[in-house]
Amino acid sequence: MTTLPKILFIAYNFPPHGGAGVQRSLKFVKYLPEFGWQPLVVTTTADASLVQDPSLAKDIPPQTPIIRVPGFSISRLQTKATRYHLRRAAVALNILLQLPDATRFWAHQARKTVARLIKEEKPQLIYTTSGPYSSHLLGLWARKQFQIPWFADFRDPWSKNLLLPYPPGYRTLNRIMERQVLATADRIACVSEPWLMDLQANLGCCTEKFMVLTNGYDDTDIHPYPPTTTTHFTLTHMGSFYRNRRPHKVVAAIKQLTASNRIPASKLRVLFIGKNARQHIPSAPPFITHDYMPHKQLDQFRQQSNAFLLILATSPENIGNHSGKLFEYIASNRPILGIVPPGGAAQQLIAETNTGIAISDEIDMITQAIEKLYDQWQSKCVSWDPDWDKIQQYTRRNLTAQLATAFNEMVTS
């Protein structure tokens, strides 16, 4: 039996952790052996994440070595400090110590494990993924220490991340660290062209080592569901909200539509599934909320939905954001209402796959779009012709094939 070449696969977020950040790494690990590579996964312990989804573990090939490195995370200070009514002080301390993020001590602790694995297993490549960005600092150290080619994967921006409330001067310091990573990594991937261009601008050049490798969907999890017959029009949003991503304008639009009876409240359900949905969504009909759910349990809600809702920050700085959930939406055979940045990556993906409507966050536009979707459902005349050839380009298997091609080029160059 032929032994596959090994790759040291450093991914802090990995099952049994749950959440959107896990999916990309998990699916790469699932499919890489099919394309000739054996991952050696270096991750952290289960208790490092508050969001758990043990069901994801069944996607990990049984022969995959998983090495778990415990490490102190600065974010745990918040939990402890809350018990003593010191949460504000802990939050401030968290922000000040997070350079680049809360896992900096874990990344340093993992050096011994990485060194041992390189000595014993002799991997041909190193792969790191962010966030957290400390994983790239671990990759930077390993690349310099052992001279093994390194692939750095960016799931999100780093120094230009809108979700991170950097203290004065910290964004500049992170930009310097980011530039060191970009200069040293042998290949660099990012999930969208606009975000990749930001990375290239920081490095000061557009070299051939950069590539776009989008997120995607696993066609063993997500299927083109047949049309559903429902007594209510069900609009479904999946995912969490953040400081620059809020649902208040959608809530206002829904209230306008039901108050004016343009859509009878008795005929409408607006479903929000996410770890903080209850903090932002009214508890009265037509709104329904659920906490975070294991990924496998979302299937029933996809099937019962008549349309999907995507809410992103619509500022120009966010044009590179697809949101990982959008790829699962486009594969589910339901229209999408995307409240997204004009001219951005999400709008482009919806347009090229012909899977829905992309609009800005003006309440009048939101009400018109929801009313249009409702009227089509009510009249049983849904205008719907997705481009399945284009959609299928985004399967996790196809994307892993692109990653494996890049790995092959790295070891032969």
Q: What pLDDT does residue 223 have?
A: 86
The answer as to whether 61 is a domain residue is: yes
Q: What is the DSSP letter of 217?
A: B
Task: Based on the fold, state whether residues 399 and 304 are members of the same structural domain.
Answer: no
Do 200 and 273 belong to one domain? no
Judge whether residue 74 has pLDDT over 60. Answer: no
Confirm whether 161 is domain-assigned.
yes
Mean residue pLDDT of the chain comes to 92
Kindly state the average pLDDT of the residues 382-386: 85
The domain of 211 spans: 6-216+395-412
Residue 185 shares a structural domain with residue 57: yes
CA–CA dist 219, 221 (Å, integer): 5
- Same-domain status, 52 and 95: yes
281-317: pLDDT as tens digits: 999 999 999 999 998 899 999 999 999 999 999 999 8
Q: Once rounded to an integer, what is the mean pLDDT over residues 392-403? A: 98
* Same domain assignment for residues 349 and 402: no
Q: Provide the pLDDT for residue 2.
A: 65
- Asked if the structure places residue 221 within a domain, the reply is no
Q: Is residue 226 part of a domain?
A: no
Mean per-residue pLDDT for 42-64? 94
Residues 152 and 238 in one domain: no
Whole-number pLDDT of residue 81: 57
For residue 223, is it within any domain?
Answer: no
86-95, 261-270, 371-380, 402-411: which has the minimum mean pLDDT?
Answer: 86-95
Q: What is the C-alpha R_g of the chain?
A: 22
What is the full DSSP assignment across 184-212? H-SEEEESSHHHHHHHHHHHTS--TTEEE
Q: Is residue 222 part of a domain?
A: no
Instruction: Map residue 297 onto helix, strand or coil.
Output: helix
Does residue 280 share a domain with residue 148?
Answer: no
Residue 237 lies in a domain: yes
Mean pLDDT lowest among 81-90, 182-191, 252-261 = 81-90
Residue 221 burial (C-beta neighbours within 10 Å; 0-12, 13-18, 19+) = middle
pLDDT of residue 384: 82
Contact 19, 295 (CB under 8 A): no
92 plus 209 within the same structural domain: yes
Q: Is 300 exposed, middle or buried (0-12, 13-18, 19+ CB in 10 A)?
A: exposed
pLDDT tens-digit readout, 238-252: 999 988 889 999 999
Q: What is the pLDDT of residue 308?
A: 98
Whether 369 is covered by a domain: the verdict is yes
Same domain, 260 and 211: no
Reported confidence tier of residue 82, pLDDT bands at 50, 70, 90:
low
pLDDT at 193 (0 to 100): 96
As a whole number, mean pLDDT of residues 182-204 equals 96
Task: For residue 269, give the CATH number of its domain.
Answer: 3.40.50.2000
- Check residues 48 and 41 and name the one with the higher pLDDT: 41
Which helix (H) or strand (E) segment holds residue 280: the answer is helix 277-280
Is 26's pLDDT higher than 90? yes
Same domain, 283 and 339: yes
Tell me: pLDDT of 1 over 50. no
Residues 145 and 70 in one domain: yes
Tally of CB atoms within 10 A around 56? 22
Count of domains forming the chain: 2
Please tell me which residue, 251 or 381, carries the higher pLDDT value: 251
Burial (0-12, 13-18, 19+ Cβ within 10 Å), 112: exposed
Are both 372 and 241 inside the same structural domain? yes
**Cβ atoms of 167 and 208 closer than 8 Å:** no
